[in-house]
Amino acid sequence: DTLVWREELAYNEPLIRAYYRHPSYDDYPVVGVSWNQVQDFCKWRSNRVNEMILIERGILNNNTAEQIDRETFDSEAYLAGQYQGSVRKNVEDISTGGERPVRYEDGVLLPEYRLPTEAEWEYAALALQGNQPDTGDENITDRRFFPWNDNTARYQKHNRNQGKIQANFKRGRGDYMGMSGNLNDKASGPAPVGTYLPNDYGLYNMAGNVSEWVQDVYRPLTSTTLSDPENHDLNPFRGNEFMEVVLDEEGRPVDKDSLGYLKYRLVDEDTLGIRDNYRLGDVRNFEDGDIKEFVDYGYGDWSLINDESRVYKGGSWGDRLFWLSPGARRFKDQNRSTNKIGFRCAMVRVGGETGNEDMGGIQFQEKGRKIKRRYK
């Protein structure tokens, strides 16, 4: 939405026309997108990347011009057998000796792109591995208030960069980039992606420039209110809506919708009686402090917090230094957008935690000696 630049008492009209169209802004972050629009983009990007993988492997022909409405490539529809496309050569079916489409078990298609959760985003922003002097131990020498060390926005090391501003933010009232002849962060609005120093994970702009949507539904309470902190403290997240594919009487997915997507619905709560790990399909307001968790807030009437209030993090070009701390959090309705909020995509890692070639766990080896295993 280019009109997010428009304000009653500011002249930003040139940005309405230029920000998304002029090549001078090609490397600038996307702003003016709602949380809902980001969800659609992540789905679109996932499908386009997986489609290109199949084309590059010679499985499908490039028939982009022929894809209209229901006949558009979708990863889930393809895996469910509801998208054929223009087949060039399917993979070999070992069981029959013939050919078959790619399956998820083949490991060819990538997991979907998505927004990071708040916990994932904050972990990535802090990048505390830089404060671990020896990778062989688990000692963190110092905590951080920002994605860099020290409690100031200026670069502290004694070299030619000493004193430079490390992020794009608003230093004070009306001070967006310093003064003529001595610009501090050199950006009155968003700056190009990749400017300023990356953090110790190599990630740029995890503080300042533009704030970023994360996946979570906002509540003032955080993971400290988990129902069982001892056992439920891995991957904390509020916002789950557990879905299932709509099946026909024979247990197969029903026909895809008019845009080529499989049809999903919330899990049938009548079938969850035997489960211990969850009992509802929509748990966005699970244990959020309301009586029986059934309070329905009218947005803007009684509260600005409801099940469509989404968290955004990181601070922007128009925020004071406080908001650049990875722990700072704010919220906005998932249907709304501003010129200060953007996003970045994430993807779950499958398999080992430390790399694509890692099996996971600790592999013990001794030179010249085999370790005998009692059980195989």
Per DSSP, the residues of 189-245 read S---TT-S---TTS---SSSSSEEEEEEEP-S--GGG-SSTTTS-SS--S--B-EEE
Residues 20 and 31: their CA atoms lie apart, in Å, by 9
Per DSSP, 29 falls in state: P
Strand stretches in the chain, DSSP E: 91-92, 99-100, 178-179, 182-183, 211-217, 243-245, 264-266, 309-313, 330-333, 341-342
- Which residues fall within 8 angstroms of residue 178, CB to CB, at 6 or more apart? 171, 184, 185, 186
Q: Are 337 and 37 in contact (CB under 8 A)?
A: yes
Residues 125 and 314: their CA atoms lie apart, in Å, by 8
CB neighbour class for 96 (10 Å; exposed up to 12, middle 13-18, buried from 19)? exposed
Q: Which domains does the chain have, with CATH numbers?
A: 117-222+314-353 (3.90.1580.10)
User: For every one of its 376 residues, what pLDDT tens digit does the chain have, with 9 covering 90 and above?
Assistant: 899 999 999 999 999 999 999 999 999 999 999 999 999 999 999 999 999 999 999 999 999 888 888 899 999 999 999 998 899 999 998 889 899 999 999 999 999 999 999 999 999 999 888 777 776 677 777 788 999 988 888 888 889 888 888 999 998 888 888 888 778 888 889 999 999 999 999 999 999 999 999 999 998 875 555 666 666 677 888 999 999 999 999 999 999 999 999 999 999 888 777 788 888 888 888 877 766 555 555 655 667 788 899 999 999 999 999 999 999 999 999 999 999 999 999 999 888 777 666 667 777 766 665 555 554 4
b/e 119-151 (16+ beta carbons within 10 angstroms → b): bbbbebbbbbebeeeeeeeeeeeeebbbbbbee
